[in-house]
Structure 1
Amino acid sequence: MRRATLPVAALLGLAAFASAAASAQQDPGWVPKRTASLQALDKVTARVTVLEAPVNQTTSFGTLRITLRACNARPPEEVADAAAWLQVRDVRNKAEGEPVFSGWMFANAPGIAMLEHPVYDLRVLDCH
């Protein structure tokens, strides 16, 4: 019987993501903020929109409902970065929405954790 294994690069990526997520929550170098700037892309129309999402409020883009749970930024004396904890639901087929993403997104490393959706892309630009 053969076991499924992840490539080493994937394991390193998961380790980096876990480390970054933990540091965004616990590192004193992160400063809590009240609003996130998010860039949303509709892949069908090529429409790019910058959304301002307040913490603990839901923002809409197309059929997505985006709830920002936390947003942290680095202090001005450090390299600029932002980390946002997002919960994203797609209400296209269900009124209450189907979860399509939940977790930390990072402005400087959007490929670590990203929304995988056939119609929309979403990334964190800044926290303020």
Structure 2
Amino acid sequence: MIRALMIALLIGTPAGAQDVARAGGALLRVLDKVSGRTADLELQVGDAVRHGRLEVRLGECRYPAGDPSSDAFAQLTIADLSQNVTLFSGWMIASSPALSALDDARYDVWVISCKS
């Protein structure tokens, strides 16, 4: 019985699991692929900012509690205001921007860090 409980606990806890903390905001970077210009956007949780035809909304930003500068995970919703369509809705990871990326012909958006 105890052995089964220990196995269940080990299987239920991923080896790479870590404690995360929530931040009050995030720093994002936008690349305009046509002009080649970049812009940094600083958002608070729940806020939205307009950049060109995009509206970027930050739902949440999390980071490893033991090492705040190591990575950032941001929940974003990015909409194209000219077509009234959502282009991206989900989590972006600062250390792996291509894993979950915005698919747009003109703009790239990625997470730089969480901000308190």
TM-score range, shorter chain: 0.7 to 0.9
Deviation at 1:76, TM superposition (A): 4.4
CA distance in 1, matches of 2:22, 2:82: 32
1:38-53 alignment, distance < 5 Å: 38-53=28-43
| CA 1:62–1:74: 2 relative to 1, 3 Å | same
- Corresponding position: 1:102 with 2:102: no
Q: TM-score, normalised by structure 1?
A: 0.72
What runs of 5+ residues in structure 2 fail to find an aligned partner? 1-13
- Alignment match of 2:26 (pick from 8, 29, 36): 36
1:53-92 alignment, distance < 5 Å: 53-77=43-67, 80-92=70-82
Q: TM-score, normalised by structure 2?
A: 0.80
What runs of 5+ residues in structure 1 fail to find an aligned partner? 1-22
Q: Give secondary structure in 2 for the equivalent of 1:32.
A: strand
Partner of 1:126: 113
Deviation at 1:92, TM superposition (A): 1.7
Q: Which structure: larger Rg?
A: 2
Structure with the larger helix share: 1
Deviation at 1:111, TM superposition (A): 1.1
Deviation at 1:77, TM superposition (A): 3.8
Deviation at 1:29, TM superposition (A): 1.3
Moved over 4 A (4+): none
1:41 maps to a residue whose letter is L
Give the root-mean-square deviation of aligned CA atoms.
Answer: 1.8
Structure with the larger strand share: 2
Q: Give secondary structure in 2 for the equivalent of 1:45.
A: coil
